[in-house]
Amino acid sequence: MKYNVRGENIEVTPAIRDYVESKIGKIERYFDSTDNAESKVNLKVYNNQQKIEVTIPMTGLVLRAEETHDDLYAAIDLVVDKLERQIRKHKTKVNRKLRDTGSPKYLFNEVIDNDPPMHMDEDEDAEDLVRTKRYNLKPMDSEEAILQMNLLGHNFFVFLNAATSETNVVYKRNDGKYGLIESY
C-alpha cells in the first residue's frame, strides 16, 4: 500500500509518518491484494484538537474514516479502529450473502473524483453547479447500496439495481430509516 500523508497546521515528522503507516498497514491483512492501493491521510490541528482523515479507494471498495482527539496518536488509533469496523461490517453483510454465488470479494464502486472541491461564495446563487463526480454503476441490491452509502458517510447513493437493471437511489430519511427511488 502506498501512503500519502499530508498535514495542515502541523509538520508531518518521520515519527508521525512511520506511526501512521504502521497502524494503517494493519488493515492490509483484510484484503487479498493492496498492491495498487493508496491511502490518503490528512492530519489537521486546530485549537488543540488533532483531526485525522483517512480515505482508501480500492478496486470495488472505498474506505473512509475521520476522528478528532486531543492526542494525535490516539486519534490515529481510533481512526484505524473505525476502518477495521467498516471492513468487518462489509465482510459479514455482503460476503456472507454472496459466498455461495461465486461473486467477487468486493462489490462496491470506486468513486472517481477528478475535480478539486470548489466552494460557493456567499453572493452566488445556490443553483450553481459547484462539483461533479463520476463513478461506474455496478449492479447491486438496495441493501448493498445502503451499506455503501453508510461506508461513504453520504445521505444518498445512486446505483444500478441488479434485479431490474434500472438506475435507483437510496437515501437516508429524517426519521433514520431509508428510502428508495426507482426510475421507470
CATH of the domain at 82: 3.30.160.100
SS3 4: strand
Q: Is 121 a domain residue? A: no
| Stretch 153-182: mean pLDDT | 89
| Number of domains within the chain | 2
Same domain, 140 and 83: no
Same domain, 83 and 142: no
Residues contacting 112, CB < 8 A, separation 6+: 133, 134, 135
Measured CA to CA, the distance from residue 20 to residue 14 in angstroms comes to: 10
- How confident is the model over 34-64, as pLDDT tens digits? 667 788 999 999 888 899 999 888 766 778 8
Q: What are phi and psi of 39, to 5 degrees?
A: -95, 120
45 by Cβ neighbours in 10 Å (0-12 / 13-18 / 19+) ranks as middle
Same domain, 6 and 82: yes
Residue 156 sits in a domain of what CATH number? 3.30.505.50
Range of the domain at 147: 111-116+133-182
Q: Is 7 a domain residue? A: yes
Same domain, 64 and 141: no
Measured CA to CA, the distance from residue 58 to residue 74 in angstroms comes to: 25
The better pLDDT of the pair 80, 118 is held by 80
Residue 113 has pLDDT above 80, yes or no: no
- How confident is the model over 73-90, as pLDDT tens digits? 999 999 999 988 888 877
Measured CA to CA, the distance from residue 163 to residue 160 in angstroms comes to: 9
Q: Is 51 a domain residue? A: yes
Q: Is 124 a domain residue? A: no
| Stretch 109-120: mean pLDDT | 43
Q: Are strands 139-140 and 134-135 parallel, antiparallel or unpaired?
A: unpaired
The better pLDDT of the pair 95, 1 is held by 1
Cell of 168: 435507483
Q: Is 55 a domain residue? A: yes
Residue 110 has pLDDT above 50, yes or no: no
Same domain, 150 and 81: no
- Owner of C-alpha cell 469496523: 85
Residue 23's nearest CA partner among 58, 46, 51, 54 is: 54
Same domain, 79 and 15: yes
Q: Is 178 a domain residue? A: yes
